[in-house]
A and B are shown apart, each in its own frame.
Chain A
């Protein structure tokens, strides 16, 4: 029983991370490090609660969350791809804009900088209790999860299929691996990058909607608290391949659950929370180390390169 409960917590913790990871994975494949995923998810979380409360409709809140996040992605893509801004700097700027903009709206529209807490909030569709009893361990863990959890799980094979089995996915990866060659082959590079950014915007929207609408039903300033960045590290750790990326997201989600449990025992959770970042850094160093170690024998003149 405790295994199912632990797994259920892991699903709750992992889903926003997994969605952010898949989003950044797609942009990484187009050779863009999408640091703006954090801000996009934050705006989505705000839109989900604001619209969901105003219209008293979960589905409208959900749709608007994704629309808001895609609009942010469109702005990001326009500034960095069309107008040639540096995408790291622009992405970090978008994060500040998202944090500042949502706080500004909280203060200006809702007169409450502490957050947006509707008294009642419509719930999302959930997996009905008892419907998955025939599945051992996994079944009870999935029951009563929101449908976004299922979407996130389905998104793993879908994104793999998209990247490796569709012409659009080929073109997108070609732009990332060798842009001049892709352009020479007739691929519209800017369009592919914009597509990747918009896809990551949709993923970020799902992540933000799940975060705000699943259990909490409220919005707090900076409520994403680094989940977008952890998703980014998961994509780096998984070398931007769908299944390893998803695996890393689950490991990091489990770290989060363990960190929360440790906090109950007054143990320092910071070191557990640090693990994803250190793991991603070490994975990157290890990958580069292997690459240079392999390249070394070819460098005859002593110094590598």
Chain B
């Protein structure tokens, strides 16, 4: 590697760091302006995640969906598809897992776990495949189609959870609790956590290997950066795009399944604080790199979780994080567009 390339790599890796630092500084100034105890607020925001095992478990719970959706985003963007449908795919995966687990209550433990998870992956994958097929078949703009499908998924799951799946004794629009045999195990020593988070972290290196160290991944990235060239040299680009979209949706669906089986134990309407959009954000911040994503998703989950403690201990409202998220998303793609993100 020449010195120029090392420098270029370093610069592109540092870009997101600057964005994060800028936003953290803006946040600190805001907290300084409104809070009587800014240091406590910031300590809570950043460090309370490690104060106890259950705090750390909640951090992992927030990391899981960001990581899985972000990995899905990486697959689709690397294939040249601007998939912003993560939120819809997440919701469909969650409702599919909840429906299957509730419909088949008397299964042995292995099946009671495997079937809902398979259903969540399948539901998300189909929901990701549709805009992919519309794009390669009819050149329908995938930004528009995934945006529309998000609303359809949100309304469909809202109908299901307020009508057939509704638990009438519970407060709010939530489904019945799924049977215990379908619950995902906790990570030993971390009450309230789920092994789904471990699975999500483990998928990241697998995604890296398949995208950057296999012929399939090389072809997929070739199709993403120049479809006509890829097809000319004999790559089945369209088929690869469809596979990438199915994987992308499947991962988001899996996040929904893990949430229902491991965290909420039921489907809750509005369970996601824009996980889809934040997952997209952290994937872009990581420059669409699976290992970098683990870092950006972790930092983001840390702040998201820390804000909850900050609100309890100090006079700083939690909506500060939404405000900072908005600034982060708004400014982080500020650069000449290039590479696979250009869809």
Contact = CB atoms under 8 A, between A and B. Distances in A.
A268 B166 CA distance: 13
A85 B330 contact: yes
A94 B332 CA distance: 12
Contacts of A288: 134, 138-140
Contacts of B46: none
Interface string B144-173: 110111011001101100110000000000
Question: A interface, by DSSP: helix, strand, loop or mixed?
Answer: helix
Contacts of B334: 79, 83-85
A94 B326 contact: yes
Given A92-B329, A236-B144, A281 B149 contact: yes
B148 A270 contact: no
Contact of B336 (A35, A84, A107, A233): A84
A273 B155 CA distance: 8
A271 interface: yes
CB-based closest 5 A-B pairs: A97-B326, A100-B322, A93-B329, A93-B330, A107-B317
A88 B326 contact: no
Nearest to A97: B326
A11 interface: no
Nearest to B160: A270
Given A270-B159, A271-B159, A104 B141 contact: no
Interface in B276-296: 277, 280-281, 284
Interface string B199-223: 0000000000000000000000000
Q: Give the most central of A104, A107, A233: most B CB within 10 Å.
A: A104
Contacts, number: 138
A273 B159 CA distance: 11
A113 B319 contact: yes
A93 B278 CA distance: 9
A280 interface: yes
A273 B157 CA distance: 13
Interface in A107-156: 107-108, 113
Given A97-B326, A100-B321, A100-B326, A85 B331 contact: yes
B82 interface: yes
Question: B interface, by DSSP: helix, strand, loop or mixed?
Answer: helix
A284 B147 contact: no
Contacts of B145: 281, 284
A270 B91 CA distance: 15
Contacts of A181: none
26 contacts: A33-B143, A79-B334, A83-B334, A85-B330, A85-B331, A88-B82, A89-B281, A90-B333, A93-B281, A93-B326, A96-B326, A97-B329, A100-B321, A100-B325, A101-B323, A103-B319, A268-B163, A270-B158, A270-B159, A274-B152, A274-B155, A274-B156, A277-B148, A281-B148, A281-B149, A284-B144
B151 A274 contact: yes
Interface residues of B, number: 48
Nearest to B34: A108
A289 B133 CA distance: 13
Contacts of A278: 148, 152
A229 B87 CA distance: 15
Interface string B239-282: 00000000000000000000000000000000000100100110
B84 interface: yes
Contact of A284 (B34, B141, B274): B141
Nearest to A221: B319
Nearest to B274: A96
Contacts of B140: 284-285, 288
Contacts of B325: 93, 96-97, 100
Contacts of A96: 274, 277, 322, 325-326, 329
B320 A270 contact: no
A270 to B, nearest CB: 4
A86 B331 CA distance: 9
Given A93-B327, A97-B329, A271-B155, 17 more contacts: A83-B334, A89-B280, A89-B333, A94-B330, A96-B277, A96-B329, A98-B326, A99-B326, A100-B319, A100-B320, A103-B322, A104-B319, A104-B322, A268-B162, A278-B148, A284-B141, A292-B139
Given A103-B322, A284-B144, A285-B140, A89 B284 contact: yes
Contacts of A35: 147
A226 interface: yes
Nearest to B276: A92
Contacts of B148: 233, 277-278, 280-281
B268 to A, nearest CB: 16
B341 interface: yes
A104 B320 contact: yes
Q: Give the most central of A79, A229, A236, A274: most B CB within 10 Å.
A: A274
Nearest to A88: B143
B155 to A, nearest CB: 4
Contacts of B326: 93-101
Interface in B18-74: 34
